[in-house]
């Protein structure tokens, strides 16, 4: 089946993108993906009159990052999504002729309003668009860009992405940036009307000379800054500044500072990794929903080559929506939204008891769309493993590993992807991070397997990654095992239904 799709600009859509995307065995079925073509950051996340709106960086013409549009999807349950008309298209001329880059949606006295980065050549500047009441149709301001240059006298590495909120009867905005030779930063602005902005100053600046190359390096530019309060509702809580560390055209990882936002600055307490998957959970955006929950999505980048992406007809997945709360340890605690359990189908249970073998295949559990919940208890020095997407000969397998140090309550969460694919062109680097443990060495593990998308949550610490077995139909085995003294307290696995109807989704609804 072919589609006769022509964009409003008259450009024909690349043939068969949606069909090719449909037949790719690596395409997730309960993680949000675009109908076809390229997807990156979540944008404009909002819960508006009972409807969740997810906008995203989208190229409907090819599975490559070029002339980015804003795709749009809606949901009432955060599980099933309806494709909506493309919200923003790059202009034929003007400040966004080369792309409508990331931004946010705010409620301007009842008028849905987008603040996004218009891209023209190498310049990126803040632009504004007003929406129809149903958030489907958008009109760009004639006066765009609403800020015409980065702050004067500052040598910036880049200037894009927005966090906008209401405070003391005014609008405030952060624009992600970096000061050359210093580090990443977020510039603070103030406005009465979202159109005229007064520069206040840098909210906080990183030090790019620290931790070069390390997992917590803060980069030379901060992409997609997101500032929010969390914890006590009386304002006595913690403030969180999320950003994605970037350098010279390459994405690194998302980090966050806890601390206090007061006056015009942010006083940091501690810096943490947002997700142990590094670049596989990038450019996140969060919003408070109408139930008062903080919901976050991140972009699960691909780990295969550009050619493989182009061939597949689609690329880029959203994480599942996550709730973000403040843990007793002062760190963010993340979990898939409870709504996701609506997709659970047949359940397989494994009887609790000690895990005595290094590896036992679980013949009753198989699949490439799974939700697994396990509770384990690890003695000092013990390690437990959960193997997913294993081929019958064991040549391809992905291993989630939790271990406890001999002394103290320290643990480690690891994802071994070295054997996740025999294809030498895909990324199979392992991932790991610190795992908080109590005296019983208890680990609450949740693993979402969705074709190439994998999300692990261990005691609230997330690790997202991508995996591409070369024999995807056969790589459906699951197993568990342990070395040392490990008790399995509980194990349940569910087959997950697809969130999308079968059949090609129109690229240009
Ligand atoms: C982050 C990012 C943003 C930018 C957008 C462009 O992944 O590079 O900084 O606005 O993607 O698509």
Q: Which two tokens stand for residue 506?
A: 């129109």
Decide the pairing of beta strands 398-404 and 410-416: antiparallel
pLDDT of residue 291: 96
Give the closest residue (by CA) to ligand 1 atom 1.
283
pLDDT of residue 83: 95
pLDDT of residue 503: 81
Phi, psi of 98 (to 5 degrees): -105, 10
Rounded to two decimals, the ipTM of the complex is 0.98
Q: Is 41 a catalytic residue?
A: yes
The closest-lying atom of ligand 1 relative to the alpha carbon of residue 282 is: 7
pLDDT of residue 214: 74
HSE-up (13 A, CA, CB side) for residue 216 = 10
pLDDT of residue 369: 98
Give the closest residue (by CA) to ligand 1 atom 9.
223
Give the closest residue (by CA) to ligand 1 atom 12.
101
Residues with CB under 6 A from ligand 1: 40-41, 57, 68, 101-102, 117, 160-161, 223-224, 251, 282-283
The closest-lying atom of ligand 1 relative to the alpha carbon of residue 251 is: 7
Nearest-angstrom CA–CA distance, 13 and 463:
35
Q: In a mutational test of the pocket of ligand 1, which residue from 60, 101, 103, 245 has the highest number of ligand atoms less than 8 Å from its CB?
A: 101
Q: Can you list the residues of the chain whose pLDDT is less than 70?
A: 1-15, 212-213, 232-236
Catalytic residue among 4, 24, 41, 368: 41
pLDDT of residue 3: 34
Helices (H) and strands (E) in the chain, counts: 2, 35
pLDDT of residue 60: 93
pLDDT of residue 132: 98
What string of DSSP letters covers 240-265? Answer: EEEEEEEETTEEEEEEEEEEEEETTE
pLDDT of residue 4: 38
The distance from CA 189 to its chain's CA centroid, rounded to whole angstroms, is 26
Domains and CATH numbers, the chain: 17-332 (2.115.10.20), 342-496 (2.60.120.560)
pLDDT of residue 212: 64
Nearest-angstrom CA–CA distance, 58 and 41:
9
Q: How far is the CA of 252 from the centre of ligand 1 (A)?
A: 12
Q: In a mutational test of the pocket of ligand 1, which residue from 114, 223, 246, 249 has the highest number of ligand atoms less than 8 Å from its CB?
A: 223
pLDDT of residue 5: 43
pLDDT of residue 43: 98
Provide CB contacts within 8 A for 436, sequence distance 6+: 329, 331, 409, 411, 459, 460, 461
Structure confidence by residue, pLDDT tens digits, 106-154:
999 999 999 999 999 999 999 999 999 999 999 999 999 999 999 999 9
Using a 10 angstrom Cβ sphere, with 0-12 exposed, 13-18 middle and 19 or more buried, the burial of residue 425 is: exposed
Structure confidence by residue, pLDDT tens digits, 491-504:
999 999 999 887 88
């Amino acid at each position: 089946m072919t589609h006769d799709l022509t964009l409003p600009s008259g450009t024909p859509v690349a043939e068969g993108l949606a069909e090719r995307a449909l037949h790719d065995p690596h395409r997730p079925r309960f993680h949000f993906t675009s109908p076809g073509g390229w997807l990156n950051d979540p944008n404009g996340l909002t819960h508006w009159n009972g409807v969740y709106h997810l906008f995203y960086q989208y190229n409907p013409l090819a599975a490559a990052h070029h002339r980015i549009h804003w795709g749009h999807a809606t949901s009432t349950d955060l599980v099933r999504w309806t494709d909506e008309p493309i919200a923003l298209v790059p202009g034929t001329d003007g400040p966004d002729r080369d792309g409508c880059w990331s931004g946010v949606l705010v409620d301007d006295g009842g008028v849905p309003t987008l603040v996004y980065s218009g891209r023209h050549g190498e310049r990126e500047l803040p632009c504004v668009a007003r929406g129809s009441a149903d958030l489907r149709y958008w009109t760009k301001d004639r006066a765009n860009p609403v800020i015409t240059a980065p702050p004067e006298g500052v040598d910036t590495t880049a200037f894009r992405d927005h966090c906008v909120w209401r405070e003391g009867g005014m609008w405030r905005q952060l624009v992600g940036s970096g000061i050359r030779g210093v580090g990443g930063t977020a510039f603070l602005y103030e406005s009465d009307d979202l159109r005229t902005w007064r520069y206040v100053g840098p909210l906080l600046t990183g030090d790019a000379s620290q931790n070069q190359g390390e997992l917590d390096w803060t980069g030379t530019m901060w992409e997609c800054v997101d500032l929010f309060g969390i914890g006590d509702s009386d304002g006595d809580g913690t403030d969180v500044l999320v950003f994605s560390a970037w350098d010279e055209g390459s994405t690194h990882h998302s980090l966050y500072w806890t601390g206090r936002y007061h006056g015009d600055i942010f006083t940091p307490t501690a810096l943490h990794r947002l997700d142990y998957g590094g670049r596989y959970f990038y450019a996140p955006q969060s919003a408070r929903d109408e139930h008062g929950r903080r919901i976050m999505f991140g972009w699960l980048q691909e780990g295969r080559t550009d050619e493989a992406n182009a061939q597949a007809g689609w690329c880029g997945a959203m994480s599942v929506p996550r709730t973000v709360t403040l843990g007793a340890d002062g760190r963010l605690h993340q979990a898939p939204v409870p709504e996701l359990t609506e997709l659970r189908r047949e359940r397989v249970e494994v009887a609790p008891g000690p895990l005595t073998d290094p590896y036992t295949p679980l013949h009753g559990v198989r699949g490439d769309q799974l939700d697994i919940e396990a509770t384990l208890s690890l003695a000092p020095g013990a390690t437990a493993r959960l193997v997913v997407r294993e081929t019958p000969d064991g040549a391809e397998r992905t291993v989630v590993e939790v271990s406890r140090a001999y002394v103290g309550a320290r643990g480690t969460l690891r994802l071994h992807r070295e054997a996740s694919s025999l294809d030498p062109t895909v990324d199979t680097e392992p991932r790991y991070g610190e795992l908080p443990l109590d005296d019983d060495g208890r680990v609450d593990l949740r693993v979402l397997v969705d074709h190439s998308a994998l999300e692990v949550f261990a005691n609230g610490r997330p690790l997202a990654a991508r995996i591409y077995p070369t024999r995807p139909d056969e790589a459906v085995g699951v197993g568990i095992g342990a070395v040392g003294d490990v008790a399995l307290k509980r194990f349940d696995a569910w087959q997950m239904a697809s969130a999308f109807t079968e059949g090609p989704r129109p690229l240009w609804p």
